[in-house]
Amino acid sequence: MTRGVDELDHKAQIKVNDNGSLRITGDVELVDKEGNSYQTKKSFSLCRCGNSSNKPFCDGTHRKIGFESKPRAK
Ligand code: FES
Q: pLDDT 10s per residue in the chain (74 long)?
A: 455 555 556 799 999 999 999 999 999 999 999 999 999 999 999 999 999 999 999 999 999 999 999 999 99
What's the confidence (pLDDT) of residue 51? 98
What's the confidence (pLDDT) of residue 5? 53
Q: Is 5 helix (H, G, I), strand (E, B) or coil?
A: helix
Ligand 1 center from residue 68 Cα (angstroms):
11
Query: For residue 51, what is the DSSP state?
Result: -
Ligand 1 center from residue 18 Cα (angstroms):
11
What residue ranges do the domains of the chain occupy? 5-65
CB-based contacts of 17: which residues, under 8 Å, 6+ apart? 23, 45, 48
Element (H, E) at 16: strand 13-16
What's the confidence (pLDDT) of residue 66? 98
